[in-house]
Amino acid sequence: MHRRNLPLLAASLCLPALNLRAQGAWPTRPVRIVVSFPPGGSSDIVARVLAEHFSQKLGQRFVVDNRAGAGGTVAALHVAQQAADGYTLLLSNSAPITTSPPLYPQVGYDPLRSFTHVSYIGAAPVVAVVNARVVPVTDLAGLKAWAAAQRTAPGFGSSGTGSVGHIVGEMFQRQAGVSLTHIPYRGSGPLLPDLLNGQVPLAFDTLPQYVEHFDAGRLRGLAISSPRRSSSAPDVAAAPEAGFPDLIAENWVGLSGPAGLPEPIAERLHPTTLAALETPLVKARLNDHAITPAPLGPRDFAAFVERDSRTIGGMVSALGITAG
């Protein structure tokens, strides 16, 4: 080998070590956590809790970037298209990852191959909720009777086409044998005011943002889409005890990045997420919003996404749900 090539060889041998050191130093600038719904919903709440914890523990600012639209696919596609350098993350959930892709054939990303799924965090149930002034019922049986008695199919709100709330609303009307009309919103935040003022009479949406309104008597929760009651709303029946044992579906949340996220970055993010879930403040905030922590690491999270995509995709097809 020529002597003049030795510096080049030495430099090339050093590159892997330099790359590892660069990844190990992550983050060296602010990190965005992209949320697929507007401020005010459960995904946004989780993202802000995590951003605060990550900022304290990892020494850089973590900021929330809300990008709503098309059942969460706008945010997911944006993240899938970013560099896999750890500076753009997705607060992933069931809408953009497992329910919306079957609804939007040209979504532009694959739920599994387009992402590095780092940490599964937990899940919150969907609640059937009514404006009690407009819909004077107290349980799902009453909702079934009320809907059947209307001249036209009543509208039900959800946080968006393809959201778990949308899925549960479709499941309910088929199981109850009644007709409802889906009214999609761009997240739970915009839905809530219309539900409170009676513009939309009922909704199927994730539980957290409604608990305070149950306590104040402004809204009434009829049942949640879980096998058991939630400690966040202990007076609201679980679907099986309300006479609908098959009305089970939950809105899960996790932390993901673009495909190819370097292992050293994932290996920092996942333990930091686990540590966040153990802090009293984060535990309390998640509990306040009916999210039950059930953490999974990258391998198990990816396996979960694969199973859930297959199951939800089949359900969307069976229910005849479309994005239109």
Q: Give residue-wise pLDDT tens across range 67-97.
A: 998 888 999 999 999 999 999 999 999 889 9
Q: What are phi and psi of 129, to 5 degrees?
A: -130, 140
Q: Do 207 and 60 share a structural domain?
A: no
**Domain extent for 212:** 125-242
- Res 15 pLDDT > 80: no
Distance CA 186, CA 203 (A): 14
Considering the domain architecture, whether residues 82 and 220 belong to the same structural domain is answered as no
CATH (domain of 102): 3.40.190.150
pLDDT in tens, 280-313: 888 887 887 788 899 999 999 999 999 988 887 7
Read off the pLDDT of each residue in 21-34 and give the average, rounded to a whole number: 82
| One domain, residues 94 and 193 | no
pLDDT band, very low/low/confident/very high, at 37 (cuts 50, 70, 90): confident
Q: Are residues 41 and 134 in the same domain?
A: no
**Beta bridge mates, 183:** 157
Residues 183 and 104 in one domain: no
Structural domain ending residue among the three candidates 209, 242, 275: 242
Helix (H, G, I), strand (E, B) or coil at 31: strand
Q: Is the pLDDT of residue 321 over 90?
A: no
pLDDT at 11 over 70: no
Residues whose CB is less than 8 angstroms from the CB of residue 292 and which lie 6 or more positions away in sequence, other chains included: 122, 123, 124, 230, 286
Residues whose CB falls within 8 Å of the CB of residue 78, separated by 6 or more in sequence, listed in order = 34, 67, 88
Residue 4 inside a domain? The answer is no
Choosing from 242, 265, 284, the residue where a domain stops is 242
Residue 2 resides in a domain: no
What are the start-end ranges of the H helices in the chain? 6-24, 42-58, 73-80, 94, 140-149, 164-176, 188-196, 211-215, 263-278, 280-288, 298-319
pLDDT digits (tens, 9 = 90+) for 190-210: 999 999 999 999 999 989 889
Whether residue 226 sits in one domain with residue 135: yes
Domains: count for the chain? 2
Whether residue 87 sits in one domain with residue 109: yes
Considering the domain boundaries, does residue 292 fall inside one?
A: yes
Could you tell me the CATH number of the domain that includes residue 181?
3.40.190.10
Q: Is residue 17 part of a domain?
A: no
State how far the Cα of 251 lies from the Cα of 234, in Å rounded to an integer.
19
Looking at the domain assignment, is residue 21 inside a domain? Answer: no
Q: Which of 242, 274, 289 is the last residue of a domain?
A: 242
C-alpha distances out from residue 227 to 24, 124, 243, Å: 42, 12, 12
In the block, tokens 């809408």 appear at: 95
Nearest-angstrom CA–CA distance, 223 and 242: 7
Classify residue 24: in a domain, yes or no.
no
Same domain? For 140 and 117 the reply is no
Q: What's the pLDDT tens digit per position in 138-197?
A: 999 999 999 999 999 999 999 888 788 999 999 999 999 999 999 999 888 899 999 999
* Stretch 21-38: mean pLDDT: 84
Together in a domain, 209 and 131: yes
Residues 118 and 54 in one domain: yes
10 assigned to some structural domain: no
pLDDT tier at 21 (50, 70, 90 boundaries)? very low
Domain membership flag for residue 311: yes
Question: Are 202 and 158 in contact, with CB atoms under 8 Å apart?
Answer: no
Which is higher by pLDDT, 163 or 7? 163
Residues 119 and 256 in one domain: yes
pLDDT digits (tens, 9 = 90+) for 111-137: 999 999 999 999 889 999 999 999 999
Same domain, 139 and 281: no
